[in-house]
Chain A
Amino acid sequence: MAAESAPPNGTPSHLPSYKEQAPEVRARFQRIYQRPVVLDARGLGKTFETQGVPVEVLRDLNFRVHRREFVCVLGQSGCGKSTLIRIVAGLEDLTTGAVEVDGKPVEGPGPDRGMVFQSYTLFPWLTVKKNVMFGLLQKGVPWNDAESKAKEWVDVVGLSKFLDAYPYQLSGGMKQRVAIARALANQPRVLLMDEPFGALDAQTRAQMQGYLKQIWASVEVTIVFITHDLDEAVYLADRIIVLSAHPGQIAEIIEVPLPQPRTPEVIFDPRFIATRLRLKEWIHPNVHQAVDTLPIRRMTAAGDDVL
């Protein structure tokens, strides 16, 4: 375990510690912890049986998510982030421990835990409007009410011109926006997002992050967001749960020392950089050592240097 208080090797000395919080940030976190607990995981563990060999994927996870918090789960590939969120969604069973939403244990999937997947899971045979209406109609909302609510949510994500378009006619970012609207239309307690912007290009991803923050600001929803992108985590989240791999355990829960709302220029903020460096320690350790040199002999003409 890396030392918690000493700054990482090679950190420029002008950066503050990621643990230093401005008073308003500290007060904000106090307010957050006062709010009711929406998601409670205690001793959560998951072991898979693959071909008779048990593989422990998650071990002893303990964390709490409060109302209207934005929590990121960060970790390397294969650390069990997706398994964790699928357990919370009810798509997988846990082997040890307990997870509760609003005090009730999770039995199976349901509309109170909406989910947005990385692969676009819009129903291809339904238009955008009907996709968003799906959950509402399931609940038993009459058609006209469902339709008007769906139109509202499609407005929220800014796609009112595409109400009658089919998913194959939409771009990746638009599909994810519809997926978010579809999940939010059910007014879930928790919105679980499994690397939703992973398949998008950098430009669209930045746009979508902005949209997500706007939605989070205006809608009564708690967000648990999985990512492997360090910048995304620090930009979006209130708190970051860092998972280490094999088996997945909580390495640290970091409170991001930046105030909300954040603009894209926050990436230049020293506190941003400090937090990011801390995350990098967990996720890509030893990277700040010298890069190994390859045994290549010189093959270019003398004087034709690029470095």
Chain B
Amino acid sequence: MSRSSWFAIRAPLSSHRATIAKCAAFLLPLATWAFICLVWVPDVIITDQGDGPYKRDDRVPRADVELANATLGAQPPQFRLTEAAWQSLQTAGLPASTLTKLEAVKPTRQPNGEFQTLSWVDQKTLLKDVRDDPNEKDPDLDPYVDTIWNHLEKETKQPEVGDPSTVIWLPSPWRVAKAFYHAFVVPPNGTGYKLTSDSIDALRKDGLPESVLSKLKPLEGKLFAYADRDKFEEQLGAALGPDELQHHQKQILKRAYVKGDPWLHESLWHSCQIIFWGFLVSAVVGVPLGILCGTFDLFSKLTEPFIDFVRYMPAPAFAVLCTAILGINDGPKIAIIWIGTFFQMVLVVANTTRQFDPALLEAAQTLGATKRTLLTKVILPGILPNLYNDMRILIGWAWTYLIVAELIGASSGISYFINLQGRYRHFENAYAGIIMIGIIGLTFDQLLATLARFLFPWVPRSDRGSGAWASFFGALAYLLRGGRKPSAVSDPGPAPAFATAGPAAAAPKAPPP
């Protein structure tokens, strides 16, 4: 192995090892999650109800299932007197008096030729009808009870059976992955087809004749899920004639379409829009103000004390106020994002501007720069890379205010989606939503970082290495090699005890990697 260590103090890892560590940063938590979900499975998802109380696909704690099965097993056995049982009783060797008594409960032949058998009954019920006195001993029956039971058909209670599963609030990674897939493929709750009076009015406006509309009236009000589209079309076909159906089917389907809960990507898009507008309104005023504060002490002293004061007021405290002023739709949400980011932005941008090297300002002055030029041609381009990084960080803050903002007024967006799925107890979807936010945030930030390399070519970059894919596959190859450097010449084998310099020195002619 190479001499360099994984734990060298204050020294960077080699690029392959760094890539491996970066991949491990995501794979390790994922592996831990998967491991926990394989090992800790206290619940059971019922696959076969048997004779128990829990229905198929219920998720029940294992202890409850075992209790239910134990209860089933502890119940007294039940029996049934079938024709076959009666026949075998005849030949069982019971005394005639006993058989005579049992005649009363023997299975009777029906008019259609089948025998009526008793349903499952327990001991007491079966012999109650044939005893003279239910409370006293009967010499004809009591000695032969066991024989009778052995000839009867005995019911076996089926226990509940299911697959082990994790708790409801910690779905396994593969369930979450499936939920991810479903979130984009399966229409959410409430999506489907339904003819309402509004849709019929709309069809009337589209120009459908009254004759057709009157035929549709009986179908009004019934919701067909998206998956049951065929059934809806069947019903339509039953109500209208084939010509009318062919002519108007598309239109009817279009007007009858009912949108249910929002799709995951729709929620996300809504959230992205809110963040965008909130951040834009912040930046349009905040960035120029911040730059002015950092450049001119007058602006700084005029505005910063007040901004410092407002900064400590938490944005959610303004929720009620914003709803009263701006209504219940997107307005208050954008306002909360604005409140959360604007005041921080001014202070951060002012700080960045103040950190601009004053020696550069002096140099510009000795080159004849006016005050205006100092601001526009020296400070502005000079702070641009740092301003860009500040904006990246502030967008991250704006995302964290998103959850709060979206619960104000009419819930919408991704937090509404997550809460809704929680209410339905579909925690996989909630996890999918949360992870989605993380993925979007990280991807967007990395995109911005890559964009910075093109926007600011004058910033020296610490790693001038290859791109992400190249480093990924390079690191993979490094792992498979076991960490050794590649050599073009195969190993020459163990050297003899007194190796001469010649062949050993001649062998490694390969160029250094």
Q: Using CB atoms and an 8 Å cutoff, list the residues of chain A in contact with chain B.
A: 89-91, 108-111, 113-115, 117, 119, 121, 123-126, 134-135, 138-139, 166-168, 179, 182-183, 186, 192
B359 and A134 contact, CB distance less than 8 A:
no
With both chains docked as a complex, state the minimum distance between the C-beta of B362 and any C-beta of chain A, in angstroms: 5
Q: A91-B362, A134-B364, A183-B367 are in contact. Are A123 and B460 (CB under 8 A)?
A: no
Residues of A within 8 A of B457 (CB): 166
Q: A123-B382, A166-B457, A168-B458 are in contact. Are A134 and B367 (CB under 8 A)?
A: yes
Contact check: which of B359, B367, B456 meets A138 at CB < 8 Å? B367
With both chains docked as a complex, state the minimum distance between the C-beta of A115 and any C-beta of chain B, in angstroms: 4
Known: A125-B381, A168-B459. 20 other contacts (CB 8 A): A90-B365, A91-B362, A91-B365, A108-B365, A110-B365, A111-B367, A114-B367, A115-B363, A115-B366, A117-B359, A117-B362, A119-B359, A121-B357, A121-B362, A123-B364, A124-B382, A125-B456, A134-B369, A135-B367, A186-B368
Residues of B within 8 A of A121 (CB): 357, 359-360, 362-363
Cα distance, A168 to B456, chains bound together (Å): 12
Q: Using CB atoms and an 8 Å cutoff, list the residues of chain B in contact with chain A.
A: 357, 359-360, 362-370, 373, 377-378, 381-382, 384, 456-460
Cα distance, A125 to B460, chains bound together (Å): 11
A111 and B363 contact, CB distance less than 8 A:
no
- 13 example contacts (A-B, Cβ-Cβ < 8 A) are as follows A89-B366, A91-B362, A91-B366, A110-B365, A117-B363, A124-B459, A125-B456, A134-B364, A138-B369, A139-B368, A166-B457, A182-B367, A183-B367
Contact check: which of B360, B366, B382, B460 meets A110 at CB < 8 Å? B366
With both chains docked as a complex, state the minimum distance between the C-beta of B389 and any C-beta of chain A, in angstroms: 15
With both chains docked as a complex, state the minimum distance between the C-beta of B359 and any C-beta of chain A, in angstroms: 5
Q: A91-B362, A117-B362 are in contact. Are A124 and B458 (CB under 8 A)?
A: yes
Residues of B within 8 A of A192 (CB): 366
With both chains docked as a complex, state the minimum distance between the C-beta of B196 and any C-beta of chain A, in angstroms: 62
From B357, B363, B370, B459, name the one whose CB has the most chain A CB atoms within 10 angstroms: B363
Residues of A within 8 A of B378 (CB): 123
Residues of A within 8 A of B364 (CB): 123, 134
With both chains docked as a complex, state the minimum distance between the C-beta of A133 and any C-beta of chain B, in angstroms: 10
B365 and A135 contact, CB distance less than 8 A:
no
B369 and A183 contact, CB distance less than 8 A:
no
Cα distance, A114 to B378, chains bound together (Å): 17
Q: A119-B359, A125-B381 are in contact. Are A109 and B460 (CB under 8 A)?
A: no
Cα distance, A15 to B263, chains bound together (Å): 95
Cα distance, A183 to B366, chains bound together (Å): 8
A123 and B360 contact, CB distance less than 8 A:
yes
Residues of A within 8 A of B382 (CB): 123-125
With both chains docked as a complex, state the minimum distance between the C-beta of A301 and any C-beta of chain B, in angstroms: 36
Q: Which residue of B lies closest to A188 (CB)?
A: B366
Q: Which residue of A lies closest to B457 (CB)?
A: A166
Contact check: which of A108, A115, A166, A186 meets B458 at CB < 8 Å? A166
With both chains docked as a complex, state the minimum distance between the C-beta of B365 and any C-beta of chain A, in angstroms: 4
A167 and B458 contact, CB distance less than 8 A:
yes
With both chains docked as a complex, state the minimum distance between the C-beta of B471 and any C-beta of chain A, in angstroms: 23
From A90, A113, A138, A182, name the one whose CB has the most chain B CB atoms within 10 angstroms: A138
Residues of A within 8 A of B360 (CB): 121, 123
With both chains docked as a complex, state the minimum distance between the C-beta of B483 and any C-beta of chain A, in angstroms: 34
Q: Which residue of A lies closest to B460 (CB)?
A: A168
Contact check: which of A89, A110, A117, A168 meets B368 at CB < 8 Å? A110
Q: Which residue of A lies closest to B461 (CB)?
A: A168
With both chains docked as a complex, state the minimum distance between the C-beta of A224 and any C-beta of chain B, in angstroms: 13
With both chains docked as a complex, state the minimum distance between the C-beta of B42 and any C-beta of chain A, in angstroms: 59
Nearest first, the 10 A-B pairs at minimum CB distance are A111-B368, A109-B365, A121-B363, A135-B367, A168-B460, A115-B366, A166-B458, A138-B368, A125-B381, A109-B366
